Structure 1
Amino acid sequence: MAETRDRPQPHQLQVHSQSRYDKSSLLPQRGPTAAQILAVVTLLPVGASLLGLAGIILVGTLIGLAVATPLFVIFSPVLVPAAILLAGAVTGILTSGAFGLTGLSSLSWVLNSFRQVTGRQPLDYAKRRMQETAWTVGEKTKQAGETIKAKAGPEEGAGGGRT
């Protein structure tokens, strides 16, 4: 029976009708600090002047566009092809640079992967391969010369052929 007295019974629970959060605690209890006042006093004129400059620049741009539009219409037979040509040239230059950069990076990647696989420098490998190829070509040339000499026979090989 002592255990049932310690546990609260459902009819003993109290419900408070007051809100858990006090509305006055959401609002600041004191006024702004001196740093906040100084920031507002400093930034308000700066922001207002920048906004005014933006408006002036917008009006100037619209007036310039209104003045230049007839000139664009009059000179459009010259300006449109010139703009297309200029855009094509810029596109070509940028594309060429992009392809060149891609090619160089691809070669760099191939060389690095070659170094990792073989553990050797690619120039040493290329030099050795060139020497082997030159020796092989020399041997094949010597064999071809001997084959031609054997097919030609001894009389033509001595220089006593035609006169």
Structure 2
Amino acid sequence: MANIQQYNRHSHHHHNQPKVSHHVAKATTAVTLGGSLIVLSGFTMAATVMGLVMLTPLLVIFSPVLVPAVLTVFMLVSGFMVSGWLGATSMYVFYWLYRYVSGKHPIGADRLDWVRERIAGAAMDVKHKAMDIGINSTDVKEGGSHNNY
């Protein structure tokens, strides 16, 4: 029985320890993958530099044509993209308003109702304050006219 318990302790102890071969395989894979990526990065950098060296004379020669053309294309693409985004946004706003008006309670409707109630309450407060000021100013004028002989 003691031999079985001792065997179980030793076998259980070996399963909890990570194997050295597993660490070696992970390290080898990481070094291989990292080295490959560094080599690919170097090739990419070299190709970019060679491409710039070969294309620079063409860019200098054609720059009076290319710069305005690139700016024009950029402005056109930007304009169409902004126009599309604004159109999509306005369509969503109209859809949201339709759902709000038809009583379907879209997202944010409760917040809008709360703001509307706050604004209406503030407007009522201003109205009552203006009425109080108007009544008080009328009392002062009437009181002042009775004192003048």
Short-chain TM bin: 0.5 to 0.7
Q: 1:42: which partner in 2?
A: 29
Question: How far off its partner does 1:47 sit?
Answer: 1.2
Matching residue within 28, 34, 49 for 1:62: 49
Q: Distance in 1 between matches of 2:93 and 2:79?
A: 21
Q: 1:53: which partner in 2?
A: 40
Q: 1:3: which partner in 2?
A: none
Q: Distance in 2 between matches of 1:103 and 1:77?
A: 39
Cα distance, 1:112–1:41 mapped onto 2, change above 3 Å: same
Residue-by-residue CA offset, 1:105-150 (whole Å, 9 max, x unaligned): 11011001101189xxxxxxxxxxxxxxxxxxxxxxxxxxxxxxxx
> Quick check: 1:111 aligned with 2:86?
no
Identical aligned residues as a percent: 33
Structure number, greater radius of gyration: 1
- Alignment map for 1:1-163 (pairs within 5 Å): 33-116=20-103
Residue-by-residue CA offset, 1:42-91 (whole Å, 9 max, x unaligned): 22112101101100110110111111111111001110111011101110
More helix by share: 2
Cα distance, 1:117–1:40 mapped onto 2, change above 3 Å: closer
Q: Which runs of 5+ in 2 are unaligned?
A: 1-16, 106-149
The one-letter code matched in structure 2 to 1:94 is M
Taking structure 1 as the reference length, what is the TM-score of the superposition?
0.50
Taking structure 2 as the reference length, what is the TM-score of the superposition?
0.55
Q: Distance in 2 between matches of 1:117 and 1:64?
A: 59
